Structure 1
Amino acid sequence: MVDLLGRAGRLNEAQKLIRNMPFEPDAATWGALLGASRIHGNTKLSETAAELIFEMEPENSGMYVLLSNLYAASGRWADVSKMRLKMRNTAVKKVPGYSWLEVQNKIHTFSVGDSCHPDRDKIYAYLEELYLKMKR
């Protein structure tokens, strides 16, 4: 419900729902509010939700990255640096995302900056070609 209200931009109602729940909200509940407040550009509410999540789950890298991205979108580069430093000081690491692709019954995995794939030159050439087509 918090997620639905938040995505609809009804952040005050989502926050009121959290306050009036008959049990203590968990990190996922605050994470829903954090995500919604990021979508709607409510930095203050994002910071409040993030701080509560950091207390509950200090190792949750996703929340650090989410708040850092919010700061970056707002041009608050000093706060981005502080967030990255906080991650480093608490030994929190962002697990890289992977894409998987199956071609002729063989699975290929890729991550950001991956340069190990044997067909990388062909792949990057094709991506460049697609990029140019999209620009036109």
Structure 2
Amino acid sequence: MLRIHGKAFWAALGIAGGLTALALMPLTSQAEDTKKAPPRCVTGPGMDTTVLDQETVLAEGAGRGGVLIKVDGCRLTPYDVLVFEYRGTVQICDPLDVQLSVRQSGGGGFKTPCFVQSVTPVSAEEVKTLRKQKYQRTDR
């Protein structure tokens, strides 16, 4: 019969407990790691914008995803200059974080304010797909 005394017993018990804990831990696959949730916010200065239709702007941040900004009260075109005025920080997370205005090209500097209705996070893969889509007029 094998006898284990004192410290050796507790060391063996600790190792066995650690191995049991490792065996019971759920394993995460690499596929789950790549399907991370898109960032909830985008940092305003330096973001790229794409007007998708008369009511939607895609704002993308540094290759980590972006947000779709839905507006009302103005009509967007890809040729207009978008003017972002931030409230508080320069993070765009929800409609209250930014005031969006449109300066029409050739309009003499007149700005038309837009009402930001929603800010929806999108993943980096969705940004790539949305950026390729052509501008769509909705009032035909």
TM-score class, shorter-chain normalisation, is under 0.3
- The one of the two structures with greater contact order (alpha-carbon pairs below 8 A, sep at least 6) is 2
Could you state the TM-score of these two structures normalised by the residue count of structure 1?
A: 0.19
Higher-strand-fraction structure: 2
Report which of the two structures shows the higher radius of gyration computed on alpha carbons.
2
Higher-helix-fraction structure: 1
